[in-house]
């Protein structure tokens, strides 16, 4: 693993351009703090990459457990930072507004540590199974393991539909696995075990006991604490609605057809990234109060649909 260069960080400039194009006021607080922390540590790393990366040899054998906290927050170069944080931007906007800021912060902290632990277990098991001690020296760094876990959550809360992976439509529930294979074959230097660890942690939360354990450890605050008056729910008809929060009575459901994708103009994550990238390269900038939210340019039909939904919600 080489030290990043000190030249012009085009990836960092592009990331900052995209953040300001979306609008800082439109980014939820925990997502914004995560972006800021990763950018700050890229510019002012706590330790050199070789002293921050995660490996079985350094953590388990040499007992350097602080790497579990350092490795997700350090990146190899500016493009590594850009792709990870651009993905974090869109996942954070969707998930934090759905789960609430406190619970989302809890998820980020838990996933950051747990993906590292699972990565170490995978590398150790693979080294023992294949009788390859060198695998214990593989050193991983970056936030991508956490992002794969968040992608599992995003697909869980927004099921159905297809995403494009290398130009091929893939059902969203299989998108993580398809992207895992695609990234591994297109970029052999990436950490397959690190990305796989993220998927496994995401599945532990959505299909396993992790969410229940986290709620037990958290104690009193529910997963929608950040937005106590409104929580989205989905049913198998593709419609959604509001769940009101009433501290002195039971929950009350309103059967209101609502498209949660209005926050992202109905675009998939890949389409959002592509549109934001084009806009950040060509658009001179928009004012703070300029519609639509989150930095997207909508077609006339999409803009009309967004306004109809906005009028409907305000009634």
Q: Catalytic residues, which ones?
A: 144, 195
| Token pair in block for residue 148 | 């794969």
Task: Summarize the chain as % helix, strand, coil (round to 5).
Answer: 60, 5, 30
Nearest Cα residue to 136 out of 128, 148, 144: 128
Nearest Cα residue to 91 out of 290, 275, 257, 269: 269
Contact (Cβ atoms closer than 8 angstroms) between residue 296 and residue 274: no
Rounded distance between C-alpha atoms, residue 152 and residue 163, angstroms: 13
Evaluate the CA torsion angle 107, 105, 159, 224 in order and state its sign.
Answer: positive
CB proximity list for 45: less than 8 A, separation 6 or greater? 52, 74
Chain center to CA of 220: 25
Rounded distance between C-alpha atoms, residue 240 and residue 254, angstroms: 9
Rounded distance between C-alpha atoms, residue 115 and residue 191, angstroms: 12
Rounded distance between C-alpha atoms, residue 92 and residue 97, angstroms: 8
């Amino acid at each position: 693993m080489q030290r990043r260069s000190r030249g012009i960080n085009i990836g960092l400039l592009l990331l900052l351009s995209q953040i300001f194009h979306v609008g800082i006021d439109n980014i939820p607080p925990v997502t914004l703090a995560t972006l800021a922390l990763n950018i700050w540590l890229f510019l002012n790393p706590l330790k050199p990459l070789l002293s921050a990366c995660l490996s079985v040899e350094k953590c388990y054998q040499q007992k350097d457990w602080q790497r579990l906290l350092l490795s997700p927050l350090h990146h190899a170069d500016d493009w590594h930072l850009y792709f990870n944080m651009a993905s974090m931007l869109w996942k954070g906007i969707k998930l934090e507004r759905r789960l609430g800021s406190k619970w989302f912060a809890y998820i980020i902290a838990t996933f950051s540590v747990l993906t590292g632990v699972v990565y170490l277990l995978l590398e150790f098991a693979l080294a023992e199974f294949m009788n390859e001690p060198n695998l214990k020296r593989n050193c991983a760094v970056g936030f991508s393991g956490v992002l794969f876990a968040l992608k599992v959550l995003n697909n869980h809360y927004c099921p159905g539909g297809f995403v494009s992976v290398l130009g091929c439509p893939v059902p969203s529930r299989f998108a993580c696995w398809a992207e895992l294979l695609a990234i591994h074959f297109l970029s052999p230097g990436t950490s397959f075990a690190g990305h796989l660890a993220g998927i496994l942690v995401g599945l532990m939360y959505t299909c396993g006991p992790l969410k229940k354990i986290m709620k037990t450890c958290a104690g009193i605050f529910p997963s929608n604490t950040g937005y106590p008056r409104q929580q989205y729910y989905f049913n198998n008809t593709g419609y959604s609605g509001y769940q009101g929060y009433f501290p002195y009575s039971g929950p009350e459901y309103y059967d209101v057809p609502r498209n949660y994708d209005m926050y992202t103009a109905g675009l998939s994550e890949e389409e959002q990234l592509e549109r934001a990238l084009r806009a950040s390269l060509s658009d001179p900038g928009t004012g703070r109060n300029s519609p639509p939210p989150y930095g997207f340019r909508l077609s006339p039909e999409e803009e009309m649909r967004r306004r109809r939904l906005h009028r409907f919600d305000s009634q």
